Amino acid sequence: AQRVTQPEKLLSVFKGAPVELKCNYSYSGSPELFWYVQYSRQRLQLLLRHISRESIKGFTADLNKGETSFHLKKPFAQEEDSAMYYCALSPSYGKLTFGQGTILTVHP
Amino acid sequence: SAVISQKPSRDICQRGTSLTIQCQVDSQVTMMFWYRQQPGQSLTLIATANQGSEATYESGFVIDKFPISRPNLTFSTLTVSNLSPEDSSIYLCSVEKLGVTYGYTFGSGTRLTVV
């Protein structure tokens, strides 16, 4: 069975500092990986998917198959980045398995 | 990306009753899903809503408790039956559109409180 682990429930950084939200997964095949973000009082929205290899709002995430990780990084955090972040895995079409989520707080 | 309208946004229900949640999409989508987010927990997939056939349920979820309809490619309903306080959760609809690279889109959720 697939599993997604986000080891940090809470993460606090200061504005301008680098931030890394960790995500590890377990799955025997080649999964599709995502990062979702939920800002206060807003719906869950897609931030990144590894297949796109793009940078959104300054965030990037690299799939490391050797370490089975998909950490989310941003070199300079902004206050508006404060939100709940979920890492998710799709082993087959459509079925997302979510991690427990990390609440990121960026202090001024 | 697809725009999802999910109703109601919240409700307070008596135990033993049922609540039906609607998910309307502004365009035809291939896949529609229902998730549950219990208090303080992550999202868990309940079932995949299949157009024209019975939904596909995940382990731990059964049709009698969570009947699902999907009469066409833009609409689905989830009913939570015989409510108990343990059913108090946020229920979310999600869709995926084949051939589009934006990934899965989520509705705003329905916050259910059972009293």
* Three-class DSSP category at B1: coil
**Residue pair A11/A104 in contact by the 8 Å Cβ criterion:** yes
Q: Which residues of A are less than 8 Å from B48 in CB distance?
A: 94-95
In chain A, the largest separation of any two C-alpha atoms, in whole Å, equals: 42
Asked whether residue A50 carries a pLDDT value surpassing 90, the answer given is no
Task: Let me know if residue B105 belongs to a domain.
Answer: no
B40: domain range?
18-98
Domain count, chain B: 1
Closest partner residue to A46 among B41, B42, B104, by Cβ? B104
Terminal-to-terminal C-alpha distance of chain B: 37
Q: Which of B96, B102, B106 sits opposite A94 (nearest CB)?
A: B96
Q: Give the confidence band of A93 by pLDDT, cuts at 50, 70, 90.
A: low
Domain boundaries, chain A: 3-107
Q: Write out residues 25-54 of B within 8 Å (CB-CB) of A.
A: 31, 33, 35, 41-45, 48
B109 touches chain A (CB under 8 A): yes
Give pLDDT tens digits for A15-35. 999 999 999 999 888 888 999
Segment 65-104 of chain A within 8 Å of chain B by CB: 86, 93-101
Q: How far is CA B61 from CA A96, B46, B48, B56, in A?
A: 16, 6, 11, 10
Asked if the model's pLDDT at residue B99 lies above 60, the reply is no
Are A96 and B105 in contact (CB < 8 Å)? Answer: no
Per-residue confidence (pLDDT) for residue A77, from 0 to 100: 97
For the segment A51-71, what is each residue's pLDDT rounded down to a tens digit?
A: 777 778 899 998 898 999 999
CATH number of the domain encompassing residue B56: 2.60.40.10
Of residues B54 and B86, more confidence is placed in B86
In a domain, B93, yes or no: yes
CB atoms B105 and A46 under 8 Å: yes
Whether B26 is in a domain gets the answer: yes
Say whether B48 and A94 touch across the interface (CB within 8 A).
yes
CB of A3 within 8 A of CB of A100?
A: no
Which pLDDT score is estimated for A79?
97
Residue B47 lies in a domain: yes
What's residue B100's pLDDT? 55
A3-107: CATH architecture = Sandwich (2.60)
Buried b (16+ CB within 10 A) or exposed e, B15-48: eeeebebbbebeeebebbbbbbbeeeebbbbbbb
In a domain, B24, yes or no: yes
